[in-house]
A and B are shown apart, each in its own frame.
Chain A
Amino acid sequence: MDVDALFEDHYEALFRYLHRLTGDADAADDYAQEAFVRLLEQSDTTEKPRSWLFTVATNLVRDGSRTEKRRDRLLEATPVRPSAPARPDERLERGERIRAVRAALEQLKPRDRTILLMREEGFRYAEIAEAVGVAPGSVGTLAARALRKFQEAYPSDEDDDGPHH
């Protein structure tokens, strides 16, 4: 297995997914590295390293108490105000918007969060279903409900200027 090619193909996407999932760049990097190490150390090669990496990383996050504690600390340190104070400038500061997005994500069940984030990475329903442990036929319903719930939790219209970096 070509390590450099594996990293070229999958690390950025895996890190992005894990960072969105955990809200913690250090944890995302740790989990991503661990998933790569496990892939490289396993004796059987897989035909779908991308699915394998994401599934293993998702399980690591789900099982890792470190993530829960870090996330709780992050949310405690940066609480989202239910109603923002009036400002002359109606647009939210970038940091507050990030916190709002994170808080809206936290409103979703971990399973639904994983479904939406894996879907964002282009995974097929069958792959998502295998990673989260649901029937493939239910992924569409779960994704639709999660999207609506996210929209309710994050109703801001200030998304048209795109990413900032």
Chain B
Amino acid sequence: MGHITDGTAQAYLDGELPPAERAEVGRHILECRACKRQLEALRAASDRFARAMRRLDRPAPVDEARNAVSRRTGRGRMADTRRTLMRAAVAVLVASAVVASALPGSPVREWAVAAWDQATAWFDEEADPAAPAVTRPAPEPAAGLSVAPVDGRIRIEWANPAEGSRLRVRLVEAERALVRAAGGASSARFRTGPGSIRLVGGGRGTLSIALPRGLDRAVVAVDGRPYVIKENGRLRFPTARPVERTGAGVVFRLRP
């Protein structure tokens, strides 16, 4: 094989070459320093472009746009009053639970700890599936959260993850979605809402998400891009291909 063209190199980096050609290019760059440098230069140019584009971004006016489109089309009108009341009711319930769980010996606290231990056993399984379940103390609030679906839906978003972070998603038999951040990602700021969790920032690490199998719909997004959509019993990956797909779930590398 002769030197590869820029087009072939770019297609190789973007995962667009047929398997046989991809294998051939992969073998060639092991032997050809010039082509390997060419590939690295294109990868660096791509990374720089991606970083430069992120400088331009600003928050999208989602709600305003949705309302405007609903007005124009007469479809999907949001029941704003109903949502406001729902959010207020959820806020009151959450506040009450927090106060109750803070009381020493509170049954609410004991329930929450037991529920968390049971639900997060998944994270321990992957470290050593053969090991017996171990009861651990409740995790630090900053490292993990759970959220219940609203109308059968959940949305989890991670904005501005550190380069090289990983996102792991798995379906589990549970009522609530569980989110746990490990490594530098545990310093991310968490914010919860009805049926949603939003994380911002954090250092390089891994975000593990367990989605209830029974959900009607779930979206896991990074920087506004849907990485995982669960719908109609299927998982779709519209933005990027997972780097790992096993029975333990799918894993994405973010901002490699």
Contacts and interface: CB of A to CB of B under 8 A. Distances in A.
A159 B47 CA distance: 10
Q: Main SS of chain A's interface residues?
A: helix
A41 to B, nearest CB: 6
A20 B194 CA distance: 31
Interface residues on A, range: 35 or more
Interface string A116-151: 110111101100000000000111111111011011
A73 B7 CA distance: 35
A61 interface: no
Contact of A12 (B8, B69, B224): B224
Nearest to B59: A165
A163 B160 contact: yes
Interface stretch (B26-34, B60-68, B103-111): B60-68
Size bracket, chain B contacts: 35 or more
A145 B49 CA distance: 13
A2 interface: yes
A48 to B, nearest CB: 10
Contacts of B75: 3, 40
Contact of B53 (A8, A25, A101): A101
Given A15-B60, A98-B55, A165-B59, A141 B76 contact: no
Contact of A138 (B7, B9, B155): B7
Contacts of A36: 65, 69
B10 interface: yes
Given A122-B239, A141-B5, A32 B52 contact: no
Given A140-B8, A147-B45, A151-B48, A165 B76 contact: no
Interface string B235-256: 0001110000000000000000
Interface string B172-212: 00000000000000000000000000000000000000000
A56 to B, nearest CB: 14
A104 interface: yes
B51 A159 contact: yes
The 5 closest A-B pairs by CB, nearest first: A3-B76, A141-B7, A12-B224, A140-B11, A144-B6
19 contacts: A2-B76, A3-B69, A3-B75, A4-B76, A7-B62, A8-B155, A11-B62, A20-B56, A20-B57, A29-B65, A33-B72, A36-B69, A37-B69, A102-B56, A116-B49, A163-B55, A165-B57, A165-B58, A165-B59
Interface of A: 2-5, 7-13, 15-16, 19-20, 23, 25, 29, 32-33, 36-37, 40-41, 50, 94, 97-98, 101-102, 104, 116-117, 119-122, 124-125, 137-145, 147-148, 150-151, 154, 159-160, 162-165
Given A3-B70, A19-B56, 6 more contacts: A4-B76, A15-B65, A140-B7, A140-B16, A150-B52, A151-B48
